[in-house]
Amino acid sequence: MAPEMIKVFEDDVAGNLEIVTSIKLEELVAGAREKVEVPMNFYLPEGAKPKKMFLDLSVRGESQKWRVYMGDFSVTKEFKPLIRNGDISKFVFDITPIKHIVMEEPVLRVSNDSTEPIELMQASLFVFYEYPSVGNGHYQYFVTAEPKGSFWGPLRGDKDGYLYSVIYAPEKTKVKIKVGDCEEEQELFDVYEISLQCPKAKSYFVDPMKEVVPLSLVVGSVEYKLPKIVIEKAEVVDNTLRVKIRNDGEDAEQVIILVYTPGRPLARESLGSMKKGDVKELSYQLSLNKGFMGVNVRVIWVKANLRDFVEKFVPV
């Protein structure tokens, strides 16, 4: 599993997870009362209810006196890390009780009134929210400051597997990330985000060539109720594009169609919502120069804070 990592949260969520991370290195000079500000803007669909909300910080160095705020609310003034290894400290704050403040003013403010400078390596906001119409998932959330070789864990094989991690790599290294049958390889150095999702995943596995520190790790088995837009027909006749699209999945809150050639938009239309089974037939008059081989039709759907698209090339 995720050995020697602290489990912050594990639960079923009838909804989804929103993550905001800043990995821009922020130096807090010694004796400075002036606050460093880090925007943590996020989006929740209308009607969504935050179930759990965590502020996750990774800090290099040590402060005798610091202050952490969300908006103007003081989260802590004590430098008491959840875990510390060498010069790296991990802090996790359950800010669910002040969720109304976070949603109104999602700005992290940190000051360091100490004799030594510190560095804010990572600031993350993890929002597990309830919104049953978008799906459900079982999530586990871990943190550590300890360097690791490879680490792995089980997932529920009947759902999509999900992995997100903020990793600190002291030396440049290649890392293999595997979720179910999906695999990626990335080269990491310093603080870096990784993410991977795969259908029907029974496990996850992260294998760096050199030791890394998985500062934050969220894994889950998720099932989404998503739209499935199909471009049923698309053809150009006498410079008129005719398109027929159908939603074979769940309701889409917003659907947008784009028509373009490389470097040149030709048409854009917001179609509003599309319920399951809805069909729309559209036509666009095109102005095409000689030599064009065809046009691209892209249909984008939006539901909650999720979006995807389907695309088709239409020869002229």
Domains of the chain: 6-224 (no CATH), 229-315 (2.60.40.10)
Confidence (pLDDT) at 189: 94
CB-CB neighbours of 11 under 10 Å: 12
The predicted structure's pLDDT at residue 292 = 76
80, two tokens: 């008491």
Residue with tokens 């239409």: 314
Say if residues 250 and 277 touch (Cβ distance below 8 Å).
no
Residue 30 phi, psi dihedral angles, 5° rounding: -70, 140
Segment 167-200, tens digit of pLDDT: 999 999 999 999 999 999 999 999 999 999 999 9
pLDDT at 1: 47
Q: What SS3 state is found at 184?
A: strand
Question: For 257, phi and psi rounded to 5 degrees?
Answer: -115, 135
Entry pTM? 0.87
CA distance 133 to 47: 11
**How many CA atoms are closer than 13 Å to the CA of 227, on its beta-carbon side?**
30
Contacts 24+ apart (CB under 8 A), 236-239: 236/286, 236/294, 236/295, 236/314, 236/315, 236/316, 239/285, 239/286, 239/287, 239/288
Model confidence pLDDT, tens digit, residues 259-290: 998 888 999 999 999 999 999 999 999 987 77
Residue 293: pLDDT band by 50, 70, 90 thresholds?
confident
Share of the chain above pLDDT 90, in %: 84
pLDDT for the residue numbered 299: 97
pLDDT tens column, 53-63: 999 999 999 98
Which residues does residue 274 pair with via DSSP β-bridges, in sequence order?
252
